Amino acid sequence: MTFESLRTNRFNQWVIIHLRYLLGVAFFPSGLVKLLGERFTRISTDHPIGFFFEALYQSGFYWNFLGLVQLTAGILLMTQRFATFGALLFLAILTNIWIITISLSFTGTWIITSLMMIAVLVLIMWDQHKLLPIFNYNKASTVKVYPDPGYGWIIAGVIYTISFIALYRLNPIMGEGYEKWLGILFVLIILVTFVISNYKAYKNRKLAINT
Burial code (b: 16+ CB inside 10 Å, e: under 16) for 153-181 equals bbebbebbbebbbebbebebeeeeeeeee
pLDDT at 210 over 60: no
In tens, the pLDDT along 92-120 reads: 999 999 999 888 877 788 899 999 999 99
What does pLDDT average to over the chain? 86
Average pLDDT over residues 193-199: 93
Average pLDDT over residues 72-76: 96
- The pLDDT score that the predictor gives to residue 79 is 94
- The pLDDT score that the predictor gives to residue 209 is 58
Residues 143, 127: Cα–Cα separation, whole Å = 11
In tens, the pLDDT along 13-40 reads: 999 999 999 999 999 999 999 998 888 8
**How much is the pTM?**
0.88
